[in-house]
Amino acid sequence: MSISGVGLGFRRDIAKQIIALDSNRPKFIEFAPENWMQMGGYWKKKLREAAEIYPIMCHGLSLSIGSPEELDFEFLKELKKFFDEFKPEVYSEHLSYSKCDNAHLYDLLPIPFRQDAIDHVSERIRVVQDYLERPLAIENVSYYTPVAAEMDEASFITQVVEQSGCNLLLDVNNVYVNAFNHGYNAKEFIENLPLDKVKYIHMAGHEQVSPDTIIDTHGQPIIDPVFELFEWAIGRIKPVPILLERDFNIPQMAELQAEMAKLQNIVDKVWANEYAIEKRNS
Amino acid sequence: MLLKKETHNIQTKLADYCKTGIDVTIEGSRQDRLHHYRRLTYNIVKGALATAYPIAKKTLSENEWFTMVDSYFANHKMQTPLVWKMPFEFYEYCKDNKYSEKFGKPYIDELLYFEWLEIELHTMEDMAIPVYKEEGDLLNDRIVVTPEHELVGLEYPIHKFKGNDLLDKKGNYFVLIFRKKDTGAIRFINLSAFLALTVQTIVEERLNLADSIKKTSEAFGIDFNKSIQHGLAFANDLMAQGFILGYEI
Ligand SMILES: [Fe+2]
């Protein structure tokens, strides 16, 4: 992996600023291909300018790997074309479904944690990886209620990763949100995941909407307990890129840079040895 | 299919609940938290449509707007994986379901279409521009125009008037909408029927300006010598505004 360090989500609201940054730049940018595909004009120009400066990660929205129906090969074809141009280092998607019975919903619904769903999703991941000729990293998502679950979430994720041979995008904030919402132990949960498969990490803020419910909004700064969980978690993982996700209530760039710096400090501290080894080897 | 029918049905139940908001019991779920999914999905669609159609939303009553939005979300199967393209399906849905008749506001379809066109022309993929030269004879050389454009004919002048003021203005209106090559910005130019036909013959029949004005003058029964000066001034303006890029080589 050639990308390391902390990156930032590339959104229209801050596109110009990210392109113009001359110091404290993110190490890479991440965007949803769906928000930039089949475009031209002003926005495509901005994306190309950004791609000249930053390495790229793509984090998809509409693949809907957990859909009960057939994969959309027309979409995959477009995606492949897009990747040919922008060459993302990692393509990740959510372990959820956002399309059902031939209708997109554009948000992440929880897949029932069941064996037949594992078989179904794993098969779909294999097809996608074969078609795109690149590995897929799937992300653990926030969910607000289990749906007809026959096993716990960690077992579900682990089996999908093992059966499909895909990679894992560990969203530390999502683990925190789910642990809070469903009353389980976040560290135990992380320990039960196939951590050797983690190729990418997401960090974000959230919003508590009631005494027992947190919604994963990406609209607030990261809270301290999530930073702590992050520090603990990365001590168990080989160095991978880290993304700061911020989709709403986007603050001044300086505030985002400070948040990235805080993440970078933790990363440098925990992975100092690994980084030294990597450097020596290269 | 490795997925069991039963699991598929459970997934369908949750998706249908998101679309309609009609209470549902889903096995092994927390009923008190299901509403978050309805709210989150609905907000995305509601927000994307409000952003795409600010004028239509303001022109219609709140009740009318949300009748359309709710019905669309509940009944239409959104096809595009790209959220930015989704509002086009809303326009088609509203037209197919004749909301303009239902609300006695016959201009709704055109208003939605017009707002969509601005997004589409601004965002759509770049089209190939033929090689052209910047110097030439505006009257006699064949003209090259910016390819991302649309010549729109309207029954209601939705670009000039608002709401009920439109009702007694039914007629024939023409607007040229195009993307500027250098900045990507969208420009609107009002056209008379005469100028609209002139543009159309230039673009579609690839006539030079003189022949185009000649043909249009004949169609309108106007003396060519009277219309040529007007047409030339108009073409100069189109060039200054960036619609005409130059001349064929
Ligand atoms: Fe994430």
Give the domain CATH number at A92: 3.20.20.150
Residue range A104-142, pLDDT digits in tens? 999 999 999 999 999 999 999 999 999 999 999 999 999
What's the gap in Å between the CA of B65 and the closest CA on chain A? 20
**Which pLDDT does position A47 carry in this prediction?**
98
Q: Which tens digits make up the pLDDT trace of B8-34?
A: 999 999 999 999 999 999 999 999 999
Containing domain of residue A82, as a range?
A: 6-281
Question: Mind telling me how many Å the CA of A46 is from chain B's nearest CA?
Answer: 11
* Chain A residues with CB-CB distance to B19 below 8 A: 103, 105
Residues A206 and B36: beta-carbon distance below 8 Å? no
Write down all domains in chain B, each with its CATH number in brackets: 1-124 (no CATH), 127-249 (3.90.930.50)
Inside any domain, residue A268: yes
Q: How many structural domains does chain A have?
A: 1
**Residue A104 within any structural domain of the chain:** yes
pLDDT at A215: 94
Say if A62 falls within a structural domain.
yes
Of the candidates A126, A130, A29, A40, the one whose C-alpha atom is nearest the C-alpha of residue A82 is: A40
Q: Measured between CA atoms, how close is A124 to chain B, in angstroms?
A: 10
What b-and-e string marks burial along A214-225, b requiring 16 or more CB atoms within 10 Å of the CB?
bbbbbeebbeee
Q: What pLDDT does A274 receive?
A: 81
* Confidence (pLDDT) at A282: 72
- How does strand A242-245 pair with strand A198-204? parallel
Q: Is residue A1 assigned to a domain?
A: no
What average pLDDT does this structure show over A224-235? Answer: 98
pLDDT tens by residue, B172-200:
999 999 999 999 999 999 999 999 999 99
A109 to B14: CB separation less than 8 angstroms, yes or no: yes
Q: What is the pLDDT of residue A182?
A: 97
- Residue A71: φ, ψ to 5°: -70, 155
- Averaged pLDDT score across all residues of chain B: 96
**Chain A partners within 8 Å of B29 (Cβ):** 145-148
Tell me the pLDDT band of B107, cut-offs 50, 70 and 90: very high
CB contact under 8 A, A147 and B79: no
| Contacting residues of B for A109, CB less than 8 Å apart | 11, 14-15, 18, 37, 41
Is A63 among the domain residues? yes
Contact (Cβ atoms closer than 8 angstroms) between residue B137 and residue B111: no
Residues A68, B12: C-beta atoms closer than 8 Å: yes
Q: Tell me the CA distances in angstroms from B101 to A41, B22, B65, B105, one per residue in order.
A: 36, 27, 14, 6
Residues A157-171, mean pLDDT to the nearest whole number:
98
- Average pLDDT for chain A: 96
Greater confidence (A246 vs A282) lies with A246
Candidates A38, A42, A66; nearest CB to B184: A42
Domain membership of residue A234 (yes or no) is yes
ipTM of the complex: 0.95
**For residue A207, is it within any domain?**
yes
pLDDT in tens, A71-116: 999 999 999 999 999 999 999 999 999 999 999 999 999 999 999 9
pLDDT tens digits for range B44-101: 999 999 999 999 999 999 999 999 999 999 999 999 999 999 999 999 999 999 999 9
How high is the pLDDT of residue A41?
A: 97
Share of chain A above pLDDT 70, in %: 100
pLDDT, position A43: 97
Per-residue confidence (pLDDT) for residue A280, from 0 to 100: 81
pTM listed for this prediction: 0.95
Q: Is the pLDDT of residue A278 over 90?
A: no
**Rounded Cα–Cα distance for residues B163 and B193 (Å):** 24
Three-state DSSP at A99 gives strand
Token pair recorded at residue A44? 């495509």
Given the structure tokens 């393509």, which residue do they identify? A91
pLDDT for A273: 82
A154 in a structural domain: yes
pLDDT band at B1 (very low <50, low <70, confident <90, very high): confident
DSSP category for residue B61: -
